[in-house]
Amino acid sequence: MTAPGQGAQTPGFLAPWLELPGVAERLGAASELAGCDLIRFGTTADADEIRDTAVAQPLLVAAAIIAASALSGSDPGDVPADAAAGHSVGELAAGVIAGVLSADDAMRLVRVRGTAMAAAAAAEPTGMTAVLGGEAEAVLAAIASTGLTPANVNGAGQIVAAGTLADLEAFAAAPPAGARLRPLQVAGAFHTRHMAPAVAALRDAAASVPVRDPAMTLLSDADGAAVTTGKEWLERIIAQVAAPVRWDLCMRTMADLGVTAVIELPPAGTLTGLARRALPGVAQLAIKTPDQLDAARELIAEHLADSDRHSHGHLPEWRLIVAPTSGTFRSPAGGGDAAATGAMVALTADLGTVVARGGQRAVAAPWPAEIIEWLVEDGDPVSEGQPLVRVQPREGA
């Protein structure tokens, strides 16, 4: 079960859902929590009005929760599914579906998230540009060399560069070979360091939110990993506001898990489109209107895993350590001394540095871990948020 992120909304997309019994009342209550009229914004507002970050984010989360409730026939946390994932703000809806937090708490948090991100975007002229096509490594290197961040790595030849308007202009003047650039109509550089003030605001708001461990496989945008505790999930979605979205890695984990069908909640289409190209042979259904709910239930009944597989026992528990900034990766002691594959590293172990124009940032292990695979070498250019090494967390390493 997947929930889309900002940019998926279209004028009037909620209108058909208001024909279902009880939806108007639910949206009315959600509007109170979100601080905006979700019914009006989802039915009669124009494209410019719903582009506002403080409006779009609550609207998207509410829509996914409403559709999940309709699909289950009761509570959004009762949707029969093996896994849940959300793109950017869609992670809040995925958390509700996985039983990590209540629908009301999701609306409270998205109100703070949307408002804080809008405020952070207004502090400095920033933006985002979609890079379509081109060789992925060349695109990432070009983004890093211009001081930008790959804010969304969506797979299927789609990467979104974000940063200051001046850096975006420099990037557009010398685009990567074979790539087409499409500036996005967004308010700022989401999922980059420019959103740091919003991280602090969301962390304060989340301090009093109760969470539970997920009742199904719940994937994280940070690195595609399955998160097994509510505490870790909450910290990840807070940090994600200023960190790149790795939807490509979420889809890789879906493939590793043997996912056979992907359902996208409204306003659907974006994520199923990516899955169509990245997950060949996997069935997709984009739920746009309530008349598709029966088809969704049939797809679930056909593809839902047996109950004995509906657990966390088979999850890939590896994690990725990513670049803290854009620049050049240097192994410890200047090269050649990176921890070898299979080595055990201690908490806060020195794994190298990223040398940037403003200095250098250390790369450290957030957990005791075993090195599974290095994804970069000494001297490689890297972008902020780019995976550097795959590790397996270990107790007592």
- Phi-psi category of 335—alpha, beta or left, where left has phi over 0 and alpha has psi -120 to 50? left
Residue 27 carries which side chain, given as an amino acid letter?
A: L
Report the Cα–Cα distance between both ends of the chain, in Å, rounded: 35
Helices (H), ranges, 44-160: 47-51, 53-72, 90-97, 103-122, 136-145
322-332 confidence digits (pLDDT tens): 888 888 888 88
Contact 75, 191 (CB under 8 A): no
Residues 6+ apart with CB under 8 A from 147: 163, 164, 167, 326, 357
Non-local CB neighbours of 180 within 8 Å, separated by 6+ positions: 131, 132, 133
Which residue in this structure is represented by tokens 């029966």?
A: 294
The structure tokens 């959300």 sit at 86
pLDDT by residue, tens only, the chain of 397 residues: 999 999 899 999 999 999 999 999 999 999 999 999 999 999 999 999 999 999 999 999 999 999 999 999 888 989 889 999 999 999 999 999 999 999 999 999 999 999 999 999 999 999 999 999 999 889 998 998 898 999 999 987 899 999 999 999 999 999 999 999 999 878 889 999 999 999 999 999 999 999 999 999 999 998 898 998 999 999 999 999 999 999 999 999 999 888 999 999 999 999 999 999 899 999 999 999 999 999 999 999 999 864 434 444 445 567 778 888 888 888 886 544 556 766 777 655 678 888 887 778 888 877 678 888 888 888 888 877 777 888 877 754 4
User: Please, are residues 102 and 96 in contact by the beta-carbon 8 Å criterion?
Assistant: yes
Strand order of the β-sheet with 344-345 is 319-322, 387-393, 369-374, 344-345
Q: Which of 31, 69, 87, 88 is catalytic?
A: 88
What letter would DSSP give residue 268? -
Centre a 10 Å sphere on the Cβ of residue 150 and count the other Cβ atoms it contains: 26
Nearest to 157 by CA among 233, 247, 78: 247
CB proximity list for 349: less than 8 A, separation 6 or greater = 339, 364, 365
38 and 114 in contact (C-beta within 8 Å)? no
303 is catalytic: no
Cβ atoms 96, 68 nearer than 8 A: yes
Q: Determine the Cα–Cα distance for residues 335 and 352; give it in Å rounded to an integer.
A: 9
Report all structural domains of the chain as residue ranges with CATH numbers, in order of start.
Answer: 2-120+193-309 (3.40.366.10), 124-183 (3.30.70.250), 319-393 (2.40.50.100)
**C-alpha to C-alpha distance for 125 and 189, rounded to whole angstroms:** 9
- Of 69, 87, 191, 383, the active-site residue reads 191
The helix/strand/coil state of 133 is strand
- The answer to whether 314 is a known catalytic residue is no
Buried b (16+ CB within 10 A) or exposed e, 295-331: ebbebbeebebeeeebebeebeebbbbbbbbbbbbbb
pLDDT, tens digit, 9 for 90 and up, residues 70-82:
999 888 989 889 9
